[in-house]
Amino acid sequence: MPLQTNIMRIKSTYYFRIRIPQDLIGVIQINGKSKRNCKEIKRSLKTKDSFEAKRRSDLMRLEWNEEFAKLRRELAYDSTPPTYITKDELTQIAILWHREEVRKQTLQNDHDRLSMNNSEIEETIENIEMDLSILEGGNESEYAPSMQALANTKLEQQNIKLLNSNALYHHFTELLLQATIEQHYKSLERYGQFHQRQPFALFSSNTASLTNNAATGLASSPKDITWQELITKFKAAQISDNKSPRTIKSYKLTLDLTTEMFGVNKLISLITPEECRQFKDALSELPSNARKRFGDKPLLKIIKLNNKRPHKHDVLSPKSINGTITKLKALFNFAVKDNLLDKNPAQYITPIKAIKIEEEDRLPFSSEQLIKLFKQPIFTGCINDELYYAKQGSKHPRRHRFWIPLIGLYTGMRLNEICQLLVEDIIEEDGIYIINVVPTEDRSKTVKTKYSHRKIPINKELIKIGFIKYFKSTKKTGSKRLFPAMTKSKNESYSDNFSKWFRRFLKSSSLKEDGLCFHSFRHTFMDTMRELGTSDELVKRLGGWSPNKEVMYKYGKGFKIQKLKVVVDQISYWDVVRHV
């Protein structure tokens, strides 16, 4: 398995390994001890199965990353200025604590009352009234120590540091005092003692609502959580839902920037639509490839540095910005569905109007462009297919850079569908060779939609060029992958690296222009099928497009492979590829 998955194998057993961040070396404890020179952590995954090792590794990596984040928060706590939280946020903490206390207290009071006799009930009422007389008596020295202890506990749980002399601290203890008084009166009501009084405004309606819920057996309001806790839950849910590593990693920009802007300790209920709009504004100023250009600096600092440059780097494309905003909405939608949040504060954030050409504006290759493309040295004879693929030579290497464009031309397959092909995906049915586009359970192969799962007969011209011969020779080597020389990108994707190479290839071929890319083969395939008069349903079956009416896919067994083969073999590019 590749090293970047944090997995290594020792004597057939898989182990997890992770590098300790530079700022935590000598700080984090290994087996209960701080080791100054220890730079990595290694743990047995206790399995010999590669797929199970990958699953356990994902979970263990998440746990250690959260441990690193927790330790950084603890270190930051010791040096954080005493006031970095607003009055409103402290008020929200007090309200949420009060809600939870009333819920628990109501259930406890009802449970205790059922087992008490009259004298025990009277004694309990007397004790509550005695506590109330202290809390409402105005003698601060009697109740201040207990309120301060409660305040310190709540602040520590939220990783908030406030000096006792701070005005916000006094505001917080006063709120806790009001909440505690209300809780005592609510307890008296459970024992049949009602008082004519005006409750504290902050703790009246919420308390009544929760009391009614508890009495009727309904679920109470969910406990509020911090932004960091939401991120942790979201990541764990993605792993549990068997999301691919690439999908999980695609949220990195969203999570990094929001964490900088919101803060790890921000309660998610306090995040406003305005803050989400500020997130969108920050994205609009963030330079593309920010980490490559500026290193691991905070993203907000990168924005400032870029704005100070005489010649600023290009910022993120509208497509990237809109995709990142969509991920923020998905994060909040997860919180809403998990009953952690009432509504999505990013729900009405509008996307940025795309100026650059997006997928729907991509162009098909013209006949002249295809002839020029397939006359390039990598197809007709080059020095090698690595660094010198554009230099004329006597070598005719037939590996992934040779075959993938040809497969794209004759099948209209998506780039990722081609790059992830396994040897076992080339099958033979009734004497017809087929490419079986199918995902795998471990998500090492994925498809874009449910309609992408399909069988595509291999065109006779592609066979004539030698594709089946290549497939059989690769199978003899024992390789699982159809294109074993391909490498993964940092995002665990085979198609990323090929896509970058293909852009360079078009440029070296003087074919690079707006709208032309590998996806243009798919548009070319669609145009060719139209010109042949192929039915709409057949085209969508072969291309893996969703039908206009999904219901039609639910009837019958579909087209026989012989019929699909006849249609596919009508596609001819021999004038284009005869030089290959």
Displacement of CA 471 from its chain's centroid (Å): 36
Distances (CA, A) of 125 to 193, 208, 211, 459: 8, 20, 19, 87
Of 35-44, 99-108, 209-218, the range with the highest mean pLDDT is 99-108
The pLDDT tens digits for 106-128 are: 888 778 877 888 888 888 888 88
The DSSP secondary-structure symbol of 358 reads -
Token output for 267: 């309660």
207 and 235, same domain (yes or no)? no
pLDDT at 76 exceeding the cut of 70: no
pLDDT at 389 exceeding the cut of 80: yes
Banded pLDDT at 247 (limits 50, 70, 90): confident
pLDDT at 212 exceeding the cut of 70: no
340 and 400, same domain (yes or no)? no
What CATH number should be reported for the domain holding residue 474? Answer: 1.10.443.10
pLDDT of residue 77: 46
**Distance (Å, rounded) from C-alpha 329 to C-alpha 345?**
8
- The mean pLDDT value for 289-306 works out to 88
Give the residue from 324, 356, 388 where a domain finishes: 356
pLDDT of residue 339: 86
pLDDT at 372 exceeding the cut of 90: yes
pLDDT of residue 308: 87
**Distance (Å, rounded) from C-alpha 206 to C-alpha 204?**
6
Of the candidates 124, 119, 129, the one whose C-alpha atom is nearest the C-alpha of residue 108 is 124
**How many angstroms separate the first and last alpha carbons of the chain?**
36
396 and 527, same domain (yes or no)? yes
**Distance (Å, rounded) from C-alpha 325 to C-alpha 352?**
10
Among 8-12, 253-257, 434-438, 494-498, the range scoring the smallest mean pLDDT is 8-12
Give the residue from 216, 247, 268 where a domain finishes: 216
284 and 208, same domain (yes or no)? no
Banded pLDDT at 539 (limits 50, 70, 90): confident
Higher pLDDT among residues 337 and 40, named by residue: 337
pLDDT at 79 exceeding the cut of 50: no
pLDDT of residue 74: 63
Please tell me whether residue 187 adopts helix, strand or coil conformation.
Answer: helix
pLDDT at 209 exceeding the cut of 50: no
Please tell me whether residue 218 adopts helix, strand or coil conformation.
Answer: coil
- The mean pLDDT value for 36-48 works out to 81
Q: Is residue 469 part of a domain?
A: yes
568 and 474, same domain (yes or no)? yes
> What is the secondary structure of 105-164 as a DSSP string?
HHHHHHHHHHT--HHHHHHHHHHHHHHHHHHTS--HHHHHHHHHHHHHHHHHHTT----T
**Distance (Å, rounded) from C-alpha 184 to C-alpha 106?**
11
pLDDT at 427 exceeding the cut of 70: yes
User: Average model confidence (pLDDT) for the chain?
Assistant: 82
289 and 188, same domain (yes or no)? no
pTM above 0.85, yes or no: no
Token output for 311: 């010649």
pLDDT of residue 197: 77
**Distance (Å, rounded) from C-alpha 5 to C-alpha 115?**
57
pLDDT at 547 exceeding the cut of 90: no
Domain that includes residue 128, residue range: 87-216
pLDDT of residue 444: 73
Instruction: Judge contact between 570 and 532, C-beta under 8 A.
Output: yes
Q: Is residue 45 part of a domain?
A: no
**Distance (Å, rounded) from C-alpha 1 to C-alpha 49?**
11
Q: Is residue 38 part of a domain?
A: no
pLDDT of residue 505: 92
Q: Is residue 193 part of a domain?
A: yes
371 and 441, same domain (yes or no)? yes
Give the residue from 216, 235, 266 where a domain finishes: 216
105 and 238, same domain (yes or no)? no
pLDDT of residue 383: 92
Dihedral sign for Cα atoms in the order 117, 119, 122, 124: negative
pLDDT of residue 61: 80
What single letter denotes the amino acid at residue 360?
E
pLDDT at 135 exceeding the cut of 80: yes
Among 136-150, 176-190, 474-488, the range scoring the smallest mean pLDDT is 136-150
202 and 281, same domain (yes or no)? no
What CATH number should be reported for the domain holding residue 311? Answer: 1.10.150.130
pLDDT at 253 exceeding the cut of 60: yes
415 and 491, same domain (yes or no)? yes
**Distance (Å, rounded) from C-alpha 472 to C-alpha 462?**
14
Token output for 473: 């020779």
- The mean pLDDT value for 123-142 works out to 82
The pLDDT tens digits for 327-353 are: 999 999 999 998 888 889 998 888 887
Token output for 49: 């199965």
pLDDT at 217 exceeding the cut of 80: no
pLDDT of residue 409: 95
Instruction: Judge contact between 543 and 567, C-beta under 8 A.
Output: no
Banded pLDDT at 86 (limits 50, 70, 90): confident
Q: Is residue 2 part of a domain?
A: no
pLDDT of residue 30: 65
Our separate counts of H helices and E strands in the chain read: 24, 8
What strands lie across the sheet with 426-429, from one edge to the other? 426-429, 432-437, 454-457
> How many domains are contained in the chain?
3
Dihedral sign for Cα atoms in the order 87, 89, 90, 94: positive
426 and 545, same domain (yes or no)? yes
Of the candidates 121, 94, 315, the one whose C-alpha atom is nearest the C-alpha of residue 183 is 94
Q: Is residue 37 part of a domain?
A: no
The pLDDT tens digits for 52-72 are: 787 788 778 877 877 777 776
Q: Is residue 106 part of a domain?
A: yes
Q: Is residue 48 part of a domain?
A: no
pLDDT of residue 332: 94
288 and 413, same domain (yes or no)? no
Among 80-89, 196-205, 210-219, 279-288, the range scoring the smallest mean pLDDT is 210-219
Instruction: Judge contact between 411 and 525, C-beta under 8 A.
Output: yes
- The mean pLDDT value for 199-215 works out to 52
Banded pLDDT at 419 (limits 50, 70, 90): very high
The pLDDT tens digits for 347-365 are: 888 888 765 444 446 788 9
